[in-house]
Amino acid sequence: MNTTAILFDAPGPRTRSRHLIYAILGALVIFGIGAWVFAILWEQGQVTPDRWAPVFTPEAWEQYFVPGIRQTVVAAALSMVLAFIFGFLFAMGRMSEVAPLRWGSGVIVEFFRAVPVLIMMLFVFYLLTYNSDITGQTLSFTAVVVGLTCYNGAVIAEVIRNGVASLPAGQREAGLSIGLSPSETRRLILVPQALTAMMPTLVSQLVVVLKDTALGYIILYPELLNRIRQMGNRFGNLTVTFVVGALLFIVLNLVVTSVAQMLERRLQRRGTSAGVGARGRAADAELDASNA
């Protein structure tokens, strides 16, 4: 159902004027909240130029924002690549004909999906602290990447499996009827189509990974959030740096989201059988994105 259009009739003149009043009232309320927040900020001296000026200096960007974004993106990108490999292997394992392999993969995937990312990160962090020579930034980086890989790998395994399940049955039947074995059918016919179809979902998963790198703050990985706090402490403008930092995260994620949407539009234009089945599934998987 095309949401907004059918919930109400095309408004007539009276309704239009009523809506105009609602719109003005609504805008006033929103404006009022904005003004109230601004007043509080003003009272606390947060909107003065000297609080905002540090944000626009090259120093702020060179020492805090750019390195922060770089560390965040590096950790997210590496985790995403590893998670994809992990997810691919376990998806194949879960669809295998060998029963013990199937059960084993199932248990591992469900386990990593149930354990919070932060718990995984803390575990790896302390495990390496007490049992290895790795220290400092390498240590927290490893913990962040391993934690993100395990959780997102498990999610990606499920995404791929769902993608295969949503393909039309004829694809598999045709593969089998030309004499391919079940595993060849999966490898050569089903999985490639599922991957293409689920590409937008996989790219959206990158938003989750990017957001979750911020958990590295807790184990002292110097990603964007950590730099924001350092910068706020240094210039005494925590409120301002947090606002700017949140905006940076939002922009970064919106860029990733728009790439995912572009891919989805392209798939729909091509109109392959894989694209048809994937649409509903992609919506399901997207809602899983509520992770930290």
Long-range contacts of 227-233 (CB under 8 A, 24+ apart): 227/63, 227/64, 227/65, 227/67, 227/68, 227/71, 228/64, 228/68, 230/64, 231/54, 231/60, 231/63, 231/64, 231/65
Q: Would you say 188 or 292 has its CB closer to another protein?
A: 292
Q: Is 22 in the site for another protein (CB under 8 A)?
A: yes
Q: Is 39 in the site for another protein (CB under 8 A)?
A: no
Q: Is 8 in the site for another protein (CB under 8 A)?
A: yes
| Residue from the set 7, 99, 133, 179 that interacts with another protein by CB under 8 A | 7
Q: Is 220 in the site for another protein (CB under 8 A)?
A: no
Residue among 94, 138, 140 at smallest CA distance from 113: 94
**Contact between residue 197 and residue 171 where contact means Cβ atoms under 8 Å apart:** no
Q: Is 289 in the site for another protein (CB under 8 A)?
A: yes
Half-sphere exposure of 54 (CA within 13 A, CB side): 23
| Residue from the set 74, 82, 122, 180 that interacts with another protein by CB under 8 A | 122
Q: Is 35 in the site for another protein (CB under 8 A)?
A: no
Which residues, numbered 196-215, are part of the site for another protein (CB under 8 A)? 207, 211-215
| Residues counted in the chain | 292
3-state SS class at 212? helix
Q: Is 98 in the site for another protein (CB under 8 A)?
A: no
**Contact between residue 50 and residue 198 where contact means Cβ atoms under 8 Å apart:** no
Q: Is 225 in the site for another protein (CB under 8 A)?
A: yes
Q: Is 23 in the site for another protein (CB under 8 A)?
A: yes
> In the 8-state DSSP scheme, what is residue 61?
I
Closest CB 57 distance from another protein, rounded Å: 21
Q: Would you say 116 or 168 has its CB closer to another protein?
A: 116
Q: 46 — phi, psi (to 5°)? A: -95, -10
Distance (Å, whole) CA 195 – CA 159:
9
Q: Which stretch binds another protein (CB under 8 A): 17-25, 62-70, 155-163, 172-180?
A: 17-25
| Residue from the set 68, 245, 275, 277 that interacts with another protein by CB under 8 A | 245
* Pair of tokens at residue 105: 């993969």
Query: Buried b vs exposed e over 127-162: b needs ≥16 C-beta within 10 Å?
Result: ebeeeeeeeeeebbbbbbbbbbbbbbbbbbbbbbbb
Which residues, numbered 132-191, are part of the site for another protein (CB under 8 A)? none
Give contact residues for another protein (rule: CB under 8 A): 1-4, 6-9, 11, 19, 22-24, 26-27, 30, 40-41, 44, 46, 111, 114-119, 122-123, 126-127, 129-130, 207, 211-215, 217-218, 225, 228-229, 232, 238-239, 242, 245-246, 249-250, 253-254, 257, 283-284, 287-292
